Amino acid sequence: MYSIHQLSKSRQPMFSLEKHLVLFSLSGRDVAAFLQNQTINAFGSEMPQPHYTAICNAKGRILFSLLLWQQADDVYLAVDQSLAEQFEQYIRMRIFRMAVKVTRTTALSPVITETEQDLVKHIRLVTDASEKSVESDQFWALFFRAELPWITQQTSEQFIPQHLSLDQHQLIDYQKGCYPGQEIIARLHFIGRNKKTLALQYMPADTTAKNGEKVTINDNPVQLCSPIINFNGQLCAQIVKNRAEP
């Protein structure tokens, strides 16, 4: 695991993600228990970081995508910029009497070092902010290359984790105990059949569809789960579509 000190000494060029991600720190003796009760999978310092997870509502629909890092006794969480205020309010309302402190922080900055090849797993935290910012297409390309979704204000509470193929990445823990939406998510896994999947879709040049909108492509109803971006020279978007019948 990289330490913040080590990363801050890197001489590689760095590109900031601060236009897209807001960073929070969670501190206190109950942080691990709090996260255990909120997220769809377990998190520990021994895991590769950043760790991808999500928080759902009671109906099993994802409220927030999150990236997690642990440094010493603190956990740092990155959430989409459009959901930062909602996320902070959500956390503060659920801390109750637990020994957890949430703080929006700018002491660390999420960065990447390669805009054309990096994946989500390559996002790092550094103490020295970069003057070079990643543009929207470059930010979303991190998730396209990793085949992972990223929830924004437009897509919050729209999808359950399986519909975004998080089960295919082993990012849903069905044994970790209760968290918001766990019963619905587990029921689909154990006794239901997932009829939807996340896919990358090439889009026509004249399309005006927005992130989160439901559209018809090739006579098939789909819902966008990203903006349309220029990806590898093509206009593309992540969509949630019906699985092909066996």
pLDDT tens, per residue, the chain with 246 residues: 344 434 444 557 889 999 999 999 999 999 999 999 999 999 987 889 999 999 999 999 999 999 999 988 899 999 999 999 999 999 999 998 999 999 999 999 999 998 899 999 999 999 987 779 999 999 999 999 999 999 999 999 999 999 999 999 999 999 888 999 999 999 998 988 899 999 999 998 888 999 999 999 989 999 999 999 999 999 999 999 998 765
**Residue 89 CB burial class (10 angstroms; 0-12, 13-18, ≥19):** exposed
Strands across the sheet containing 109-112: 15-16, 109-112, 124-126
Report the phi/psi class of residue 54: left, alpha or beta, with left for phi > 0 and alpha for psi in -120 to 50: beta
8 Å CB contact between 53 and 66: yes
Report CA-CA distances (Å) from 73 to 25, 157, 176, 222: 10, 31, 22, 43
